[in-house]
Amino acid sequence: MKMTFRWYGKGNDSVKLSYIKQIPNTEGIVWALHDLAAGEVWPMDRILAVKKQADEYGLNIDVVESVNVHESIKMGIDEREVYIDNYIETINRLGKVGVKVICYNFMPVFDWVRTELFHEMPDGSTALFFDKHTVETIKAHDLFELVSANSNYTMAGWEPERLKELDVVLATYKDIGVDDLFANLKYFLERIGPACKANDIKMAIHPDDPPFSIFNLPRIVTSKENLDRLLKLVDEPYNGLTLCTGSLGSSASNDVVDIIKTYMDRIYFAHIRNVKIYENGDFVETSHRTADGSIDILGVLKAYHEADYQYYIRPDHGRHIWDEVCRPGYGLYDRALGIMYMNGILDTLDSLKKK
């Protein structure tokens, strides 16, 4: 498997490429043009600029996270045609620089959702926190205010300009159910299929985070049953998964090790994140260590190792430690510790295999 590290781009990330290069065993960056709105065609000169920056440090740019899907595609309205054409053009351009995997999500309106970005932990670190009751009772606008109150950061997909249209968008989704969302995903995947095949690019859908409905919006990438349905929707290798342990694993009913073993051959990108789930359904993101959270990270890595997994893996959200000032969940220190934890496990498994 190939170890990677998410990087938000020059001038947009507190972590430098030179630091990423120094994390043992790290081969590539996971990148995107974060300032572009969903649906825009990615300019070739900007794609080439990222390639040049990564090349300087010998890091590959094989994985993009994300090329975001325009809301009209998720809603299945006529306007989607132009945005699907744009998506295809971006796939073709990414193919030219050798991109192998595109991570994306199909969550209506919002990407990941938390109630606190810097929740204080007993050891003095801070971490991303989800308070279930709050999300069940608060209005989406108010959650935005709550989350961004004490920091310059907000959550992905919660940019103020998008929130202006929020009421209209939420109202449109009133008539869109789970089956509609599956049908709209199928339509999208079928339309982009030829471009994916021509460029040998795998699409890796990210699970919904958290993996259940919020604000009465439908969510479909939530469980083993639904993963099964989505892989069968377009039963071809280019339709694959980003297997995020923390997203699926924040619902206690998901057995992530079993899910990984079942769909191994369609997983093109592995996100390793640990979360601790409380009895009331709240959860907090912990260090990557198995003993610190509710997810069997050791079991997860064993499953990938046993299958001789050949695709990409990365540490996911880390805590904020050692006074690092960073993007929520995406500091250098705790994610680098996460990689070393994974390296330790994988090296041990390797040596046991040789005996």
- Binding status of residue 112 toward ligand DNO by CB under 6 A: yes
Between the alpha carbon of residue 1 and those of residues 169, 246, 346, the distances in Å are 40, 19, 10
Among the listed ranges 43-51, 93-101, 102-110, 248-256, the one in contact with ligand DNO (CB under 6 A) is: 102-110
CB of 207 to ligand DNO, least distance (A): 8
- Binding status of residue 111 toward ligand DNO by CB under 6 A: yes
- Binding status of residue 335 toward ligand DNO by CB under 6 A: no
CB of 347 to ligand DNO, least distance (A): 26
Nearest partner of 236 among 203, 260, 207, 208, judged by Cα: 203
Q: Which of 13, 62, 209, 316 is catalytic?
A: 316
Instruction: Order the strands of the 283-285 sheet from edge to edge.
Output: 116-120, 126-130, 283-285, 275-277
Read out DSSP for 172-191? HGGG--HHHHHHHHHHHHHH
Q: Which amino acid is at 355?
A: K
Give yes or no: 316 in active site: yes
- Structure tokens given for 81: 């045609």
Burial class (CB in 10 A: 0-12, 13-18, 19+), 211: buried
- Binding status of residue 245 toward ligand DNO by CB under 6 A: no
Count CA atoms within 13 Å of residue 89 on its CB side: 12
Give the residue at shortest CB distance from ligand DNO.
66
- Structure tokens given for 202: 């795998």
Distance from CA of residue 289 to its chain's centroid?
19
- Binding status of residue 116 toward ligand DNO by CB under 6 A: no
Give yes or no: 62 in active site: no
CB of 109 to ligand DNO, least distance (A): 12
- Whichever of 114 and 132 has its CB closer to ligand DNO, that residue is 114
Binding mask 49-78 for ligand DNO (x = CB under 6 A): ----------------xx------------
**Touching ligand DNO, residues 259-278 (CB under 6 A):** 271
Give yes or no: 167 in active site: no
Q: What is the binding site for ligand DNO (CB under 6 A)?
A: 65-66, 103-105, 111-112, 156, 206, 244, 271, 317, 329
Catalytic residues: 206, 244, 271, 316-317, 330
